[in-house]
Structure 1
Amino acid sequence: MALPRASVQLYSLAADFSADPRGSLDKLAALGLQHVEAFDFVRRPNEIRAALHAAGLESPTGHAPLLSDELWTPDGSIPTPAPEVVFDAAATVGITTVIDPFVAVDRWMTEDGVADIAERMNRAAEVAAGFGLRVGYHNHAQEFVATFDGQTAFERFVSLTDDTVEIELDLFWALAGEQDVPALVSRLGSRLVAVHVKDGVVPPSNPFAPDAPAFSSDSLDQRHAGEGDVPLGEALRAGAGAIRYAVIEYDNPPTNVFDDVAASLAFLRDGGFVR
């Protein structure tokens, strides 16, 4: 049974990568990594492709918005690029699965909202197929607030999307959404092709619930993989044979981000969870 490949979401080192893409990727390659997960690649695909090639790395998965009309940036909201623009950039970089990383909380609170998200994803999948690509979705915790007939909004979304739509489960955020993470991994079966390996102190209740205190990812107490609350090993074992990429990510790196990545990579290697 093939083990997942280790990868790193480049958002974890966003400042370093933006300042020095080549140098940052060289440091990851020096750790023995062969794969990364790109973000913000649509506006600079040629630059990212060149940096990846120079470092000897590949980015089989990448994050880009597909399901929202507007994209939030530090400089204000801008229209989301057309799917064709996103997929053309992805093909340039060498990405094969484009993953939407975030859909606003309010859209997950009603059945019609979830149905709309799923419909948009199915349309995106059809367009992506024309580029030889696939699409996927990456969760946070807001997808687990509402339930419909005993089914979370997240699992309703999965049930409404085509089987070609891939799922990347963020294990930390699924636990923050009060899920039994290994059980959820098992239920997702072959739809689950990637996980975000993230650990830390999980909030006591879903931080996206309507009555939850104000929340910011800057307040997260994140730890190296294996040093927090998330049952990473059990979840990875539950997805054995389906998960293709174990993607290390830090929303809030606790120390030097390259040391943090190295520590989580050691957890994956020492535990025999990646090849």
Structure 2
Amino acid sequence: MSRPLSVQLYSVRDQLTADRDGTLRRLADLGYGAVEPYDVLADPKGLRASLDELGLAVSGAHVVQLLGPEPGPVLDAVTALGTDLAIVPAGIPPEDFTTHDGLARAADRLNGLADAAAQRGLRVGYHNHWWEIEPRFEDRAGRHAVEVLAELLDPAVFLEVDTYWAAVGGADVPALLRRLGDRVRALHLKDGPGTKDDPNVAVGGGTMPVPEILGAAPDAWRVVEFDSCAGDADALFDELAASRTYITSLEEA
């Protein structure tokens, strides 16, 4: 994997609010080479300038606002950040993933954004939680809802698979990634006890089969994320450092 390891900035949301540039510098000092912003409308040009000063790339951007009435400014902000991957991380009703009709509606919403994104040289993606995984469809070997969705999506629309939530939702994650194949352009790497509500731990310190996951999607961006972490800010950065060390050791092996 030649791309730099990325970190989802939601992991350090409180620290960013208190001191954006100091937090970004701390991530760079840990050895991360890229970030994935989650609030693209908040000073994208200023954020890009700060990232450039630190030598940090942008692996992609989370854009829940893309489902709003005016996607144009959101896509312009993604362009300003210097990435071509605009990822919808939420905003589609969870119940839409429980029926074929609902999945068709979800696909139509995402497909409808693909042309507007393409006009700016961007691609739209979708990021899962557990509710796109738990529903199973018996029409073909009990597929997970996200697999049915993938078949309905325009080829231009990609997936960012949150590997931890996929496991919480009941998936054999390496097998799921192999079935989804080239549709997967990015991975969220996180670890923990495999439950919905408990804090995350450093990647490699929980229940996730990380080596098998990386092997199943060798060309996807690797993005570390913590939804929550036990302890204070220093503990979080320690866990981020340990995650980078572990993932890097696997990639270099």
**Both structures adopt the same fold (TM-score exceeding 0.5):** yes
Match of 1:226 in 2: 204
| RMSD between aligned residues | 1.7
Which secondary structure state, in structure 1, belongs to the residue aligned with residue 200 of structure 2? strand
Q: Tell me the CA shift for residue 261 of structure 1.
A: 0.9
* 1:15 aligned partner, one-letter code: D
Which secondary structure state, in structure 1, belongs to the residue aligned with residue 206 of structure 2? coil
Paired with 2:243 and 2:87, the residues of 1 have a C-alpha distance of: 22
Match of 1:264 in 2: 243
Which secondary structure state, in structure 2, belongs to the residue aligned with residue 168 of structure 1? strand
Asked if the contact 1:195/1:247 (under 8 Å) is kept, the reply is yes
Match of 1:46 in 2: 45
Q: RCO higher in 1 or 2 (8 Å CA, sep ≥ 6)?
A: 1
Is residue 222 of structure 2 the alignment partner of residue 197 of structure 1?
Answer: no
5+ long unaligned stretches in structure 1: 69-79, 208-218
- TM-score, reference length from structure 1: 0.84
Taking only the aligned residue pairs, the percentage that are identical comes to 38
Asked if the contact 1:168/1:196 (under 8 Å) is kept, the reply is yes
Cα offsets for 1:13-50 (capped at 9, x unmatched): 00111221111111111122221101111232122112
Q: Which has the higher helix share?
A: 2
Asked if the contact 1:3/1:273 (under 8 Å) is kept, the reply is no
Match of 1:14 in 2: 13
Q: Tell me the CA shift for residue 173 of structure 1.
A: 0.4
Paired with 1:272 and 1:130, the residues of 2 have a C-alpha distance of: 35
Match of 1:73 in 2: none
Match of 2:117 in 1: 128
- TM-score, reference length from structure 2: 0.91
* 1:99 aligned partner, one-letter code: I
Paired with 1:81 and 1:198, the residues of 2 have a C-alpha distance of: 32
* 1:237 aligned partner, one-letter code: G
Q: Tell me the CA shift for residue 81 of structure 1.
A: 5.4
Asked if the contact 1:108/1:153 (under 8 Å) is kept, the reply is yes
Number of aligned positions between the proteins: 246
* 1:179 aligned partner, one-letter code: A
Match of 1:186 in 2: 178
Q: Which has the higher strand share?
A: 1
Match of 1:248 in 2: 224
Moved more, 9-18 or 101-110: 101-110
5+ long unaligned stretches in structure 2: none
Paired with 2:211 and 2:223, the residues of 1 have a C-alpha distance of: 14
Asked if the contact 1:7/1:37 (under 8 Å) is kept, the reply is yes
Match of 2:215 in 1: 237
Paired with 1:81 and 1:25, the residues of 2 have a C-alpha distance of: 31
* 2:143 aligned partner, one-letter code: Q
Match of 1:116 in 2: 105
